A and B are shown apart, each in its own frame.
Chain A
């Protein structure tokens, strides 16, 4: 495996893990207003994501940093082309963090209502726009010899909006299951019911995504050339059905793990189709960026490989340990010292 291929896999892995982890934070944030009916329930939802959202968000930073170091030309083109959507994502993530930090530290009903609304909106927007961004990547960007030629309106095409909806539903289901897993009583039961409802919409959305990807993007090419890879989207659909079965058995932990696997596999399915492109051009394929014409030098890739192979497993180990420390259900009233 060449270093470029290895870094494509790592780059995809970082995004996939980011979506699977921050996905439930964002999903829980989206559902926060509807699921949390009392002040205690709202506090329980905030507290369920309180210890982990920050660490989860670092996967995004690492995915961005890895792209900068390993594929600088693609990093430069992607973020300057998708400038406004990315800006809105960043603003939303800032507000999401601020809402979680500030909500419990002020007084009065207006303070609470304001930050509650901010948390909901600031969780929904990144989910939608990450989907729109990846939809546009899958579909191809208008890139010619002098770079990106699109506009904001161009990015809001039906296929990418569909991908945005897919992301919103994936994250919402994942978030509902997180709340079901982490909270007891009526709130947990309500979250599980919501998850069951969301699942049907997600199934339709996944089917729509697969069919329209075949018609609107070049993702199908790799699958037609090497049909064995069809296992990846099939596994994604399989994980989605396992999620539903687990919800039916009221097994929140199993359903949460299955919805996490669904997110990982849906991302993987998209990236298998994308390979070896990073940013395909819709205009003339020669101007698109691939892992070969956008990559860093072998020296840099080797150094970064060592860094990634040493640190990423270590990070996964201590993050897993912290999740274990906080594995118990949220007990309303306790452990609220930091004010989440």
Chain B
């Protein structure tokens, strides 16, 4: 395999691995901050024990998120040196701002929160996790503004053989970046909600700590329902933005071949890239694709046949990741709705089927989120910066395939081992439940 292929696999693998840990951090920090704030307000010890129990799981997850994030930043220079030189003037800024304005805050106050229970007042301690939640989400914003710029480059000028910053405000207020941010962060909230509901369900099924886990479940159900609906709303925003800015990605995710106005959408489809058509194409809903893509039943949707073959993204991955992600999203909205209704009526104890379902549903948001990233990044190919700079041009020139093969193997082995340990520990402490005594 070439340096390019290996570097792409390595970046994809490390980014997807990193994003196994990030979404739970994004959502669970918000929930813990909420519970600890409730404790400060009400003095109810249950909230304190909730913050401590979920906090322990949070910390197990958080550590790997941090250390795998650091490798992401350095990989741009290591494997994508040509890209870094070409766009560093504009792309480096949001990454540097993320570290300075957000990541410091998150990393410093998580240390205070984890080990400072007896060192600071209740209020300051609750404030610490609040700052962690704020900083984690702010961190996501800057990283996703950088990603948004790759998806839709704005505010730059080509000068001195590279893309230079012309308008920083355009980068900061890039609608593409903001819709990616909303969609990503909200999906993290959904994941955290399903994590909390699943683990709580496990204990409620065994009639353990019913007060604590009932309260956790109720908050998570509401949080999960609201977030999963908003994920759909922000997903719609993403779809419209993709239709406007990345016609090739839209055509590939819908496997849409002919440019037409008032385009229909087949509910059942299977792409055939070689013959440039769909081998299955059934249950066509008239004008639906135009409406979903542009909020206009008559809008023209560009087809793959009008896009040069070398500028089309890999079809099957883009198409399948989109469809499965959307289906999972719909399932999660329904599950969250069921959970919310049951918890609102106080019927959790008498709904073992729901609780068991939610326990097994913990992986669903993980899968959906990974598919979302596949869609976003594979669907962007062959561009590294959409319409401006090809992925093939960005790879480092001084590397040999052997070197990258070694690093890729190292990442797979080390990350695999750490993930295994992390999951074992998470499962162990999740099953164990909260500590008995509270000091």
CB within 8 Å of B: which residues of A?
A: 47, 50-55, 57-58, 60-62, 64-66, 68-70, 72-73, 75-81, 83-84, 86-87, 90-91, 93-95, 97-98, 100-102, 105-106, 146-149, 296-297, 299-300, 303-304, 307-308, 311-312, 315, 318-319, 322, 325-326, 334-335, 337-340
Q: Which residue of B lies closest to A106 (CB)?
A: B425
Within 57-90 of B, Cβ neighbours of A (below 8 Å) are at: 59-60, 63-64, 66-71, 73-74, 76-79, 81-82, 84-85, 87-90
Determine if B70 and A57 form an interchain contact, defined as CB atoms under 8 angstroms apart. Answer: yes
Determine if A335 and B425 form an interchain contact, defined as CB atoms under 8 angstroms apart. Answer: no
Given A105-B429, A303-B168, A304-B93, check contact A79 B81 (CB 8 Å). yes
Within 111-144 of B, Cβ neighbours of A (below 8 Å) are at: 111-112, 114-120
By Cβ-Cβ distance, the 3 closest A-B pairs, closest first, are A72-B88, A79-B77, A69-B92
**Residue numbers in A under 8 Å from B407 (CB-CB):** 83-84, 87
Determine if A312 and B64 form an interchain contact, defined as CB atoms under 8 angstroms apart. Answer: no
**Residue numbers in A under 8 Å from B79 (CB-CB):** 80
A148-B82 Cα distance, complex, nearest whole Å:
13
Q: How far is the CB of A293 from chain B (nearest CB, A)?
A: 11
**Residue numbers in B under 8 Å from A300 (CB-CB):** 89-90, 92-93, 164-165
Which of B66, B96, B108 lies in contact with A62, CB distance below 8 A? B96
- Of B36-44, B312-320, B392-400, the stretch lying at the interface with chain A is B392-400
List 11 A-B residue pairs with CB atoms under 8 Å apart, sorted by A's residue number: A58-B107, A65-B98, A70-B96, A73-B88, A76-B77, A79-B81, A101-B59, A304-B96, A312-B100, A326-B119, A335-B118
Scoring A52, A64, A146 by chain B CB atoms within 10 A of each residue's CB, the highest score goes to A64
A51-B64 Cα distance, complex, nearest whole Å:
16
Asked if B403 lies at the interface with its beta carbon under 8 angstroms from chain A, I say yes
**Residue numbers in B under 8 Å from A54 (CB-CB):** 63, 66, 107-108, 110-111
A91-B63 Cα distance, complex, nearest whole Å:
14
**Residue numbers in A under 8 Å from B70 (CB-CB):** 57, 60-61, 90, 93-94
Q: Which residue of B lies closest to A147 (CB)?
A: B398
Taking chain B's interface residues, is the majority helix, strand, or loop, or is none over half, making it mixed? Answer: helix
**Residue numbers in B under 8 Å from A61 (CB-CB):** 69-70, 73, 99, 103
Q: How far is the CB of A336 from chain B (nearest CB, A)?
A: 8
**Residue numbers in A under 8 Å from B384 (CB-CB):** none
Which of A65, A81, A93 lies in contact with B95, CB distance below 8 A? A65
B399-412: CB near A (< 8 Å → 1, else 0) gives 10001001100100
Q: Which residue of A lies closest to B83 (CB)?
A: A76
**Residue numbers in A under 8 Å from B109 (CB-CB):** 318, 322
Which of A70, A75, A315 lies in contact with B84, CB distance below 8 A? A75
A86-B77 Cα distance, complex, nearest whole Å:
11
Which of A80, A91, A337 lies in contact with B117, CB distance below 8 A? A337
Determine if B71 and A94 form an interchain contact, defined as CB atoms under 8 angstroms apart. Answer: yes
**Residue numbers in B under 8 Å from A81 (CB-CB):** 398
**Residue numbers in A under 8 Å from B98 (CB-CB):** 65
Determine if B78 and A87 form an interchain contact, defined as CB atoms under 8 angstroms apart. Answer: yes
Asked if B421 lies at the interface with its beta carbon under 8 angstroms from chain A, I say yes
A50-B63 Cα distance, complex, nearest whole Å:
12
Given A62-B96, A68-B96, A319-B108, check contact A340 B73 (CB 8 Å). no
Determine if B399 and A83 form an interchain contact, defined as CB atoms under 8 angstroms apart. Answer: yes
A7-B87 Cα distance, complex, nearest whole Å:
18
Determine if B104 and A86 form an interchain contact, defined as CB atoms under 8 angstroms apart. Answer: no
Given contacts A50-B114, A72-B87, 6 further A-B contacts (CB under 8 A): A54-B111, A64-B73, A75-B88, A146-B397, A315-B108, A322-B111
Determine if A62 and B99 form an interchain contact, defined as CB atoms under 8 angstroms apart. Answer: yes
**Residue numbers in B under 8 Å from A70 (CB-CB):** 92, 96
Determine if A98 and B92 form an interchain contact, defined as CB atoms under 8 angstroms apart. Answer: no
Q: How far is the CB of B104 from chain A (nearest CB, A)?
A: 5
Which of A80, A296, A326 lies in contact with B78, CB distance below 8 A? A80
With an 8 Å Cβ cutoff, the count of chain B residues facing the other chain is 75
Q: How far is the CB of B190 from chain A (nearest CB, A)?
A: 25
Q: How far is the CB of B423 from chain A (nearest CB, A)?
A: 12
A19-B106 Cα distance, complex, nearest whole Å:
20
Determine if A50 and B398 form an interchain contact, defined as CB atoms under 8 angstroms apart. Answer: no
**Residue numbers in A under 8 Å from B63 (CB-CB):** 54, 97-98, 100-102
Q: Which residue of B lies closest to A324 (CB)?
A: B119
Determine if A65 and B92 form an interchain contact, defined as CB atoms under 8 angstroms apart. Answer: yes
Given A79-B77, A80-B79, A337-B52, check contact A52 B111 (CB 8 Å). yes
Q: Which residue of A lies closest to B110 (CB)?
A: A54
Given A98-B64, A307-B100, A311-B101, check contact A75 B92 (CB 8 Å). yes
A105-B292 Cα distance, complex, nearest whole Å:
49
Asked if B330 lies at the interface with its beta carbon under 8 angstroms from chain A, I say no
A147-B166 Cα distance, complex, nearest whole Å:
28
**Residue numbers in A under 8 Å from B77 (CB-CB):** 64, 68, 75-76, 78-80
Given A65-B95, A77-B81, A80-B81, check contact A322 B108 (CB 8 Å). yes
**Residue numbers in A under 8 Å from B93 (CB-CB):** 69, 300, 303-304, 307
**Residue numbers in B under 8 Å from A319 (CB-CB):** 104, 108
Asked if B22 lies at the interface with its beta carbon under 8 angstroms from chain A, I say no
Determine if A76 and B82 form an interchain contact, defined as CB atoms under 8 angstroms apart. Answer: yes
**Residue numbers in A under 8 Å from B168 (CB-CB):** 299, 303
A53-B93 Cα distance, complex, nearest whole Å:
25
Determine if B76 and A68 form an interchain contact, defined as CB atoms under 8 angstroms apart. Answer: yes
Q: How far is the CB of B431 from chain A (nearest CB, A)?
A: 13
Asked if B105 lies at the interface with its beta carbon under 8 angstroms from chain A, I say yes
A58-B95 Cα distance, complex, nearest whole Å:
12
A62-B103 Cα distance, complex, nearest whole Å:
9
Which of B60, B66, B96 lies in contact with A69, CB distance below 8 A? B96
A116-B160 Cα distance, complex, nearest whole Å:
51
Determine if A105 and B60 form an interchain contact, defined as CB atoms under 8 angstroms apart. Answer: yes
Asked if B8 lies at the interface with its beta carbon under 8 angstroms from chain A, I say no
**Residue numbers in B under 8 Å from A312 (CB-CB):** 100
**Residue numbers in B under 8 Å from A102 (CB-CB):** 63, 421-422, 425
